[in-house]
Structure 1
Amino acid sequence: MEETSSPLEAVLSPSIADVSVLSLDVSREAIRIDVCSTAAGAACPDCGSESTRVHSSYQRFPADVPNGGRLMILRLRVRRFFCPESSCARRPFAEQLPELTRRHSRWTERLLSTLAAVGLALAGRAGARLARAFGMPISRSAVLRLLDALPEPEVPVPRVVDVDEYATRKGRIYGTVLVDVETRRPVDLLPDRMAQHRRGC
């Protein structure tokens, strides 16, 4: 966000382009921040045309990470613009602030990343308990949905692979596991231990 007169505003509002803090109110229970975009216009999400013609505005209240034991109440003023392209099916559209929040989301990007980190460390039930203890109420299923929406991490191609067996029913049903020798992480599981699978590795 832009530089503000209060050091507290700078701490609560990380540097985000074209966003300004209008007001800040701190009480014992909560911190209330009014925020708006300072951009001259916005791009239509369908055709990409830039528009500066404001149609209307409305307010969003995305949840944010608590600060110092206080609730963070963010009031975001969002403008709707007319699309200048006559052939575009989306006439009015809402501006987006991708570094602050995302479309249709009830949470800020900062809260989303925090909850996702808690979920990666503790999974659903334990992650939800810890999040609630820190003032970020969320259900176990919501934590799991956040994790499911995360992009798959890029895994380097293993240079050296080891082949071993694993048992789904000990002494009766076996499969083959491929392991990256350098990282000691499983690469793939094969449903059986047939020789042709191993020769193809």
Structure 2
Amino acid sequence: MGKRTLLAPLAGVRILGVECGGGGWVVSAAGPGHGTCPACGTPSRSRHSTYLRRLQDLPSQGARVTVQIRTARLRCRNPGCDRQVFAEPLLGVAEPRLRRTRHLADLALLLGHHVGGRPAEQVLARLGMPISDDTVLRWLRRFAGQDIASPVRVLGIDDWAWRKGRTYGTIMVDLERRAVVDLLPHRSSAGTADWLQGHPEVEVISRDRHGLYAEGARAGAPQARQVADRFHLIQNLRERIEQQLSRLGRPLRAGARPQQR
């Protein structure tokens, strides 16, 4: 089995060679040599110049893999187009301006959706794919809602920290699809209400106990039913247990957690 077969998932990319060095693998490749102008949609094969694009890919046996793709800059053949030169697109391989392949970005997004930024960073580093939690969160914001074509019926609302203890935003999650719909740069009832007014299809809102979100949900989606999510129900139960034990003079020991059904 040759190297072209082993690296076949890089669709449209010609594999030129594979080398081992510096604690990882370096894959040399070349782009398709043609593309469509993003401004006017005119196809072109007229090469203006080339540049080397370095992409981090999925690891091999725990070793880091870097794909170096010789990418072409193409001339737009439409005389009336304002964009004279554009870079050939690497469709299915990497998004524009990202330094990771789509395979790696999809995995990082999946972990970021399910466990959050810092846990995703720790898991990815252990798997041989060092990516910071800030990068994971930036990708979540960049791709949030791109794959959500259907209306959001069950919505989850919670806050998240741009800078812990200082700056907070609001995260909107489609709980039926388990996907992030939007990330708001603020945490306010007015901002939540404005977002909900643009999505009248929301029927159920699962939120934390923050009064701002309750007020925003009432103002922006009066037709929706508000419920508390499981995490905050357990948190509320723990606080009640601590209050009862405190009255009895028997504080809850450190590290104890109420039993969950």
TM-score past 0.5 threshold: yes
Q: Which residue number corresponds to residue 77 of structure 2?
A: 84
Q: Which residue number corresponds to residue 12 of structure 1?
A: 7
**Equivalent pairs, count:** 167
Deviation at 1:12, TM superposition (A): 3.3
How does 1:83-102 map onto structure 2 within 5 Å? 83-102=76-95
How does 1:53-64 map onto structure 2 within 5 Å? 53-64=46-57
1:138 aligns with 2:131: yes
Q: Which residue number corresponds to residue 21 of structure 1?
A: 15
Q: Which residue number corresponds to residue 204 of structure 2?
A: 187
* Paired-residue identity, %: 25
Q: Please, what is the CA RMSD of the aligned residues?
A: 3.2
1:37 aligns with 2:31: yes
TM-score, scaled to structure 1: 0.71
Taking the aligned partners of 1:65 and 1:114, their CA distance within structure 2 comes to 9
Supply the AA of the counterpart residue of 1:106: R
Q: Which runs of 5+ in 1 are unaligned?
A: 159-179, 181-185
- Over residues 124-177 of structure 1, what are the superposed CA-to-partner deviations in whole Å (9 max), with x where a residue is unaligned? 11111111111212222222222222333445657xxxxxxxxxxxxxxxxxxx
TM-score, scaled to structure 2: 0.56
Q: Which runs of 5+ in 2 are unaligned?
A: 155-174, 176-202, 207-213, 227-261
How does 1:101-112 map onto structure 2 within 5 Å? 101-112=94-105
8 Å Cα contact 2:7/2:15 also seen in 1: no
Taking the aligned partners of 1:137 and 1:15, their CA distance within structure 2 comes to 21
Give the structure with the higher percent helix: 2
Q: Which residue number corresponds to residue 75 of structure 1?
A: 68
Supply the AA of the counterpart residue of 1:119: G
